[in-house]
């Protein structure tokens, strides 16, 4: 995996909310086929980073290189079109639309074979097949999260961004979802960037991780090594 090429490369990125600096000079790298976690407490700048990658927020300085393109100069829809999918924080359901319509929205930009991809999604998440004609707002939290993931992978993106995947889910479900992600990576070769508060789970299932605090990278390395690091254990794993 070490030899494969870099898919996403963030260099010296700073983002401001008005006068307040939310992300300070972050460097980050995601290689093809990796699961990379970005850890940190509330307000550490994870969501800001995700929003900046997809162009909802504008970077003040720095660059974001994705697949040979500079994302900071592009509009959100162009960025999505270039092959990035997002699972938004809070799942981002289009709750008045059916499950099927939500999935169809996932291929809005992508010229892919919808039906075969739909079969693939349904094979990973059989619950969605049962509920495909139901309104998304009537699903349970776990099912909505499945739908959000399904919707983000159905277009066959090169990179998946997942913002607070484990938020408001039961621990059992969190394990399930992360296992599915690893499975997706192994079988379909997806590259995944996780922004997570749940450091223990994220480190358990990811290859590498970055630890953010108050908008700065305080640590990075292989997940298994970070797991054993005394500082991380003390600050994020509660050991």
Partner 1 sequence: MELFLAQLVSGLSTGGIYALLVLGMNLITLVRNVVHHGFSHTCIFTMAVGWLVYNKTGMPWLAFLAMFAAGVLVTVLSEPLFRPLSKRGADLETIVLAMGIGIILSELIVNFFNSGQVLSFNDEMKIFTTKFQVGAITVSVASIVALVACVVIAIIISTYLFKSSEGRAMRAMAQNLRVAKMLGVPFGKTGVLGFLIAGLLAACIGVICIMCLGYCNAEMGDSFATKAVILMLFAGQGDIKGGILSSILMGVVEAMALAYLPGRWAEAIFYGFMMVIIIIKPNGLFARKAKN
Shortest distance in whole angstroms from residue 56 CB to partner 1: 6
- C-beta of residue 53 within 8 angstroms of C-beta of residue 39: no
Using CB under 8 A as the binding rule, whether residue 95 contacts partner 1 is answered as yes
Q: Would you give the end-to-end CA distance of the chain in angstroms?
A: 31
Q: Rule CB under 8 A: is residue 81 a binding residue for partner 1?
A: yes
Closest distance between partner 1 and the C-beta of residue 76, in Å?
5
How would you class 158 by CB atoms within 10 Å of its CB: exposed for 0-12, middle for 13-18, buried for 19 or more? middle
Q: Is 67 in the site for partner 1 (CB under 8 A)?
A: no
124-153 mask for partner 1 (x: CB under 8 A)?
---------------------------x--
- Four-residue CA torsion sign, 235, 50, 192, 105: positive
CB burial class (10 A; 0-12, 13-18, 19+) of residue 18? exposed
Which residues is 162 bridged to in the sheet?
87, 194
Q: How far is the CB of 113 from partner 1 (least distance, A)?
A: 15
At 165, list the tokens: 């995947």
Q: What is the Cα 8 distance to its own chain's centre?
A: 13
Of 37-45, 84-92, 193-201, 213-221, the segment contacting partner 1 by CB under 8 A is 84-92
Q: Is 237 in the site for partner 1 (CB under 8 A)?
A: no
Interface segment toward partner 1; rule CB under 8 A; list 9-17, 38-46, 76-84, 172-180: 76-84
Q: In whole angstroms, how close is the CB of 151 to partner 1 at the nearest point?
A: 7
Q: Is 58 in the site for partner 1 (CB under 8 A)?
A: no
Helix 114-124 with 171-188: angle, nearest 10 deg: 140
Q: Which stretch binds partner 1 (CB under 8 A): 12-20, 58-66, 92-100, 171-179?
A: 92-100
Task: Extract the tokens encoding 71.
Answer: 């994302």
Q: Are 85 and 66 in contact (CB under 8 A)?
A: no
108 lies in the site for partner 1, by CB under 8 A: yes
Contact letters for partner 1, residues 5-44 (x by CB under 8 A): ----------------------------------------
What is the three-class DSSP state of 143? Answer: helix
- What stretch of H or E contains 92? none
Closest approach, Cβ 218 to partner 1, in A, equals: 28
Question: Residues interacting with partner 1, by CB under 8 A?
Answer: 54, 56, 75-77, 79-81, 86, 88, 92-97, 101, 104-109, 151
């Amino acid at each position: 995996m070490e030899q494969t090429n870099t898919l996403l490369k963030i260099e010296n990125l700073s983002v401001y909310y008005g006068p307040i600096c939310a992300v300070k000079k972050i460097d980050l790298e995601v290689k093809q086929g990796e699961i990379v976690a970005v850890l940190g407490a509330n307000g550490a700048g994870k969501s800001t980073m995700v929003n900046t990658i997809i162009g909802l927020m504008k970077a003040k300085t720095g660059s974001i290189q994705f697949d040979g393109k500079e994302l900071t100069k592009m509009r959100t829809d162009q960025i999505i079109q270039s092959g990035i999918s997002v699972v938004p924080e809070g799942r981002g359901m289009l709750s008045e639309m059916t499950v099927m319509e939500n999935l169809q929205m996932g291929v809005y930009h992508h010229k892919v074979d919808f039906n075969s991809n739909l079969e693939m999604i349904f094979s990973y998440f059989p619950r969605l097949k049962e509920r495909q004609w139901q309104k998304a707002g009537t699903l349970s939290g776990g099912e909505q999260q499945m739908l959000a993931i399904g919707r983000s992978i159905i277009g066959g993106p090169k990179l998946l961004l997942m913002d607070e995947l484990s938020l408001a889910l039961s621990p059992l479900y969190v394990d399930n979802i992360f296992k599915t992600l690893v499975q997706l990576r192994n079988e379909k070769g997806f590259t995944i960037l996780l922004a997570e508060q749940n450091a223990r789970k994220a480190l358990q299932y990811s290859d590498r991780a970055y630890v953010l605090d108050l908008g700065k990278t305080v640590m990075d390395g292989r997940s298994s090594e970070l797991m054993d690091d005394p500082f991380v254990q003390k600050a994020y794993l509660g050991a």
